[in-house]
Amino acid sequence: MTARRMRGADVASLLRSVVGEAAGSAAVRVRVDGGRLEEVLCEIDLDGARYTLSRVRAAPPAGGLSPREREIAALVAQGLPTKAIAAALCISGWTVCTHLRRIYARWGVGSRAAMVAKLLERGLL
């Protein structure tokens, strides 16, 4: 059955099948291809065709921090508040907070002090 000829009920059934497969699969494979990460959530063979549900992300920068994240982390290490960092880098305070949230998530920390300590420990600051 081609995608154009699928009825709403067929599409809903297929989506339920894919979601069920993705929820039931414990092993999630990750492929690295040309500077990007592809996380394969689910693979299904249907009518002789293989369908893959995956999430593609850019590979993390070498060293664990992008150049902008490195600038922000260095300013945090100097003790500057969010508004001062934003003014120094000519970006908004929201952008500074977004970069900090991403750094926190990547490094598994929950505060500025923990982030600075971990980055100093790894020699990134």
Q: Which domains can be identified in the chain, with CATH numbers?
A: 8-58 (no CATH), 62-121 (1.10.10.10)
On whether the CB atoms of residues 14 and 6 are closer than 8 A, the answer is: yes
In angstroms, the CA 115 to CA 112 distance is: 5
pTM over 0.85: no
Residue 34 has pLDDT above 70, yes or no: no
Q: How confident is the model at residue 26 (pLDDT cuts 50, 70, 90)?
A: very low
On whether the CB atoms of residues 86 and 93 are closer than 8 A, the answer is: yes
Q: Compare 37 and 65 and report the one with higher pLDDT.
A: 65
Other CB atoms within a 10 A radius of the CB of residue 76 amount to 22
Residue 92 has pLDDT above 50, yes or no: yes
Calculate mean pLDDT across residues 46-64: 72
Query: How deeply is 99 buried, as exposed, middle or buried, from its count of CB atoms within 10 A (0-12, 13-18, 19+)?
Result: buried
